[in-house]
Chains A and B, each alone.
Chain A
Amino acid sequence: MSYRVGGRGRVSDRPVTFTFDGRRIEGRAGDTVASALLANGIHLTGRSFKYHRPRGILTAGSEEPNALLQVRRGPGRAEPNTRATVQEIHPGLETESQNRWPSLRVDALSINDRLSPVFAAGFYYKTFMWPKAFWDRVYEPVIRAAAGLGRAPAEPDPDRYASRYLHTDVLVVGGGPAGLAAARAAALPGVRVTLVDETAEFGGALLSEPGTEVDGRQAWAWLEDELTAVAAMGVRLMSRTTAIGYYHENMIALAERVTDHLEAPHPDLPRERLWRVRAGQVILAQGAHEKPLVFNGNDRPGVMLAGAARTYLNRYGVRPGDRAAVITSHDSAYAAAFDLVGAGTAIAAIIDTRLEPPAELLSAAAERGIPVRVGHTVTGTDGRLRVSAVRTAPVRDGRPSFAVRIPCDCVLMSGGWTPALSLFSHSRGTLLWDAEAETFLPDRSPEACRMVGGARGLWGIGAALADGAEAGAAAVAALGRTSAPSQRAVTGDAPGTGQACRELPTDWPNPRAFVDFQNDVTAKDIRLAVREGMRSIEHVKRYTTSGMATDQGKSSNINALMIAADAIGRSAPEVGLTTFRPPYTPVTFGAIAGHHRDGHFEVTRKTPIDGWAEANGAVFEPVGQWRRAWYVPRAGEDMETAVLRECAAVREAVGMFDASTLGKIEVVGPDAGEFLNRMYTNPWTKLGVGRCRYGLLLGEDGYIRDDGVIGRLAPDLFHVTTTTGGAARVMNTMEDYLQTEWPELKVWLTSTTEQWAVIAVNGPKAREVIAPLVEGLDLSPEAFPHMSVAETTVAGVPARLFRISFTGELGFEINVPARHGRAVWDKVAAAGADHGITPYGTESMHVLRAEKGYIIVGQDTDGTVTPADAGLSWAIGKKKPDFVGKRSLARPDLVAAGRRELVGLLADDKLEEGAQIVLDPSEPMPMTMLGHVTSSYQSAALGRPIALALLADGHSRMGERVHIPMPGATLSAEVTSPVFYDPDGDRLKL
């Protein structure tokens, strides 16, 4: 049977078919899943979180706690817990109810509802105490399997997501009458105004109240003209856009749903877009949420909020049923009842908890033949998968007397309205208790923020329009502009009042009166929490989980507070309201990640020579943000074979390596040498022009932070190199010292990391390879010895040529302007072809340097290693008055015995990096750990595995045997010098 009402609503006549639990459902273009289901007479949409109780559609908005569905829009496009009240229908949409097995109508775990006395608040804290081991293996898995809602999708999400920044002078959140009026008033020439609304259409309450007239025009006609007008005034209108968070300095996050409502969106469109908005002034016009009444059986499918029923009728043209019972403590439910009577739904009764509702409402009800029962309670509802009756009784002395049963197929309830305070609360705005309205209202915000309309407790469209216009004018006044807010005449408006309630009295022995529908928290649970000692609302919340579901208790927090305050015997403001936190409504991970996935997940920096490596089949590894060639396998080679071949080539002939990622800093100025004296441990004053020196950089704590070779190109010009990963950090540290400690030094730092492409040529034949390419420089060992640097020309390009080595072989590093890097690389490769030049990657570089005992900062050091620990005391300028870290090197703990020192380890097997070292493998566990392996490789040159390690008192343990316990076996190794190859360095001097 169809509950579509002809001539009502704003949906089009175009039918749209989708599926619900495999069944084809026909709705109309413009429907939400909820309105389309209701149009087909379907209220039952899912099973509840804990008790698996049948649940239906409670609201017509994003605050929905019940109607949460699994939604699919094709392969990979699955989403759990989608609110049926938000999701718009389109052809091809598949929806499914959740938390039921084998079916929605017959659910095995509905047994939980019978066991509800066991599952009261805090039950698992009390029940699953012992045996202790059962928690991990039995209790938690079973509880997790039994509770919960949707299933997380298992496939990768094929959709794209995006994000943008937006600057606006005035941001208005909420496109109802207050927000619209605010935007209109703020829209002056030159003032950027943005109006956002979370639904598909602007208009808010106007969409649900078509009987209203504004300035003599029917509400919808007026709305259409008004939207055209504000758009023409340049207001940026963003629909399907939810303000999800309010952060410092008027930074608001907006989540825009771009394609979820489309059948076949353009493939380039993002599914969602996160907007980071910096707003000069913010106007929050998010209206109010209707409160459910808390009564026994208030969660049966068919029970919905009165305001929601009014929205379904007027906005979507759908009746909730044929015969409704209305239960209310607020005037607004009467308007819903009157609208429904006019659309053909019989109103069985209006049950008003108040003793004296306004007389004009009573007479209006009488005119329509609607019986009203004042001063009544609802003691319970009947029905299993759909409500079939309510039981109501007059209240005498707080207790229900004789109850009557009123058959119905739907129940509309209203407990009044709560201002939407979430975003205001994110902004750290303070709240004030309004004793008369029995609600919290916004008080002060530290941000440039105004609350308007229903969001600050004003009721009625006329009041909202006036308040919005005033706030819009005030917002532009704060920007130094003047606007005259327009006055609107509103007729047909129905502002109302009401009374806040606790749970309604009942005579049932075990009432199930739900406060938090999504987390299955009842009034009894709240009172139990108070009985068990919870006094703060924050404790009640955590004990009962009330308000902790994804709806953040939009419909439940105030009810929970009223009941808790009553149980504690204190006033509501004394008990307090829990804090709202972003996001306002659930947000997808995709929206938060934006474009940061796949290739855009993180910046990938590439060197000028990266193209060669890619074309030649190099395997890459990430180093910081860089990708570097790890090894360059030939056809059929695995990593180990390739690395052994590359290393052997360097030791026996010559290899080439892309070292462009090394950090480089140009240090220029008359005080350049003095500056380096203060930064590095080494002395720089006497370093001659054209010479290089290894530099060691410490932190103030005396621990090694970075290292690199520094060349002097002129008395006032040094070319500093740093580690790849440390480049930015070293530059920042140096700038920090220069600007804050030594501003008197005449020296400037410029990062030249990317100015230069660097090609390292290493091996006994290195000189033969590059000599033909170098112009005007004598490369002989006498003229250009180890640790030299010169400005010259290489392959026709101006270059800085270093004779340095990180392999222990004769080595050159050719620095050329980056745009020439690839061309020079190719020329070096061609020049070396006859010498068997072999390109090698970072892995071979690591092996070759380890054979020489050269450390890698961050691998062989961990931020607690001093120069002495690393065997680098020789790099400390003993005569220098000071350098960064000098004083710490004298600290008692840095000179005490027992420090972990860098040593070599020789074992029969390749050790595992990170493996712990012990002296006595038969010691009972936990053993005394003396250090760990920092680097470990198979050495081609030595024909055996080698390792570096940090070992307690390692320097005095040469020749000792240590043990490395591993799963299945304990390995043993001999402690040696970390210099395994060419200890005298003869090969560097070739």
Chain B
Amino acid sequence: MNELARDLLPAATVITALAPACRFSLRIAPQDGVEAAGPLGFALPERIGARASANSVEALMLGPDEWLILAPEAARERLVSGFEALSAVHSCVDISDREISLSIGGPGVLDLLSVGCPRDLAALPEGEARRTVFDGVSVVLWRDGSESFRLDAWRSFMPHIESLLASAERARAADCNRT
């Protein structure tokens, strides 16, 4: 890259594995979605990619009848029994152990994620999330801040993703320091 552009390159991205959380895949007909507000304590988001949250419980709309619910372990029993009591037909499946999440943050995060994600992540609004791919692996990317992302992937793919991110970050850092 040209000398002039190099000064604009950002530095240091931090990748950390997040502690296990409680996750559910909620499937419910959109017209019945209002009922979910009972156990959740807030209304489900109604646009794919949009998020809603209250009291550390988060919901992300992933598809026309699909939401991802994230919650602290302490909320597990309350959520499970709350959804069991729902009158509308639905499916609420525990996927807490299916996935692992990474936190990826720092000024170089967009460059780093561009190694594997074909989406225009600069255009992803803060406070939203997308189901997308990273190096061919299905992932959910949460944008929590301008330089702060979370990445969820099925656990068996994580060694590959983490190792790729680590080597890409080394190359990115070396690129920043190129003389």
Contact = CB atoms under 8 A, between A and B. Distances in A.
Interface in A254-311: 256, 258, 266-270, 276, 278
Interface in A202-231: 202, 227-228, 231
24 contacts: A162-B115, A166-B114, A167-B122, A231-B5, A237-B1, A237-B5, A238-B1, A266-B174, A269-B178, A595-B115, A595-B167, A595-B168, A606-B159, A666-B93, A668-B93, A669-B89, A746-B89, A747-B91, A748-B27, A748-B91, A752-B93, A754-B155, A755-B95, A819-B97
Give the 3 A-B CB pairs with smallest separation, nearest first.
A231-B4, A605-B156, A668-B91
Interface in A592-621: 595, 599-600, 603-608
A957 interface: no
B78 interface: no
A582 interface: no
Contact of B167 (A167, A600, A750): A600
B103 interface: no
A228 B4 CA distance: 7
Contacts of B148: none
Given A754-B97, A818-B155, A276 B118 contact: yes
Contact of A819 (B20, B136, B160): B20
Interface string B4-23: 11001000000000001000
Given A600-B164, A669-B89, A819-B20, A239 B154 contact: no
B73 to A, nearest CB: 12
Interface string B141-160: 00000000000001111011
Interface string A166-190: 1100000000000000000000000
A754 B5 contact: no
A757 B156 CA distance: 11
Contact of A268 (B93, B123, B154, B170): B170
B155 A600 contact: no
A165 B156 contact: no
Given A746-B89, A754-B156, A269 B2 contact: no
Contacts of A818: 97-98, 155
Contact of A754 (B2, B98, B117): B98
Nearest to B94: A755
A604 B135 CA distance: 12
B120 interface: yes
B164 A165 contact: no
A754 B157 CA distance: 10
Contacts of B157: 603, 605
A280 to B, nearest CB: 10
B95 A750 contact: yes
Given A162-B168, A754-B97, A755-B94, A238 B89 contact: no
A854 interface: no
Contact of A750 (B91, B174, B178): B91
A231 B2 CA distance: 10
B98 A755 contact: yes
A164 interface: yes
Interface string B87-129: 0011101111111000000000001001101111011000000
Given A666-B91, A747-B91, 11 more contacts: A162-B115, A237-B2, A266-B178, A276-B118, A595-B164, A626-B156, A668-B93, A670-B89, A750-B91, A754-B99, A820-B97
Most chain A CB atoms below 10 A, which of B20, B170, B174: B174
A817 interface: yes
B34 interface: no
A160 B171 contact: yes
B164 A750 contact: no
A600 B98 CA distance: 22
Contacts of A819: 20, 97
A172 B107 CA distance: 26
A606 to B, nearest CB: 6
A487 B34 CA distance: 60
B147 to A, nearest CB: 17
A599 B160 CA distance: 8
Contacts of B122: 167, 192
B160 A238 contact: no
A85 B135 CA distance: 35
A825 interface: no
A684 interface: no
A747 B2 CA distance: 56
A163 interface: yes
Nearest to B23: A755
Contacts of A668: 27, 91, 93
Given A160-B171, A164-B115, A270-B171, A603 B136 contact: yes
A756 interface: yes
A961 interface: no
A236 interface: yes
B163 A599 contact: yes
A943 B20 CA distance: 48
B144 to A, nearest CB: 21
A603 B137 contact: yes
A585 B62 CA distance: 42
A626 B20 CA distance: 23
B164 to A, nearest CB: 6
Contact of B160 (A228, A600, A669, A746): A600
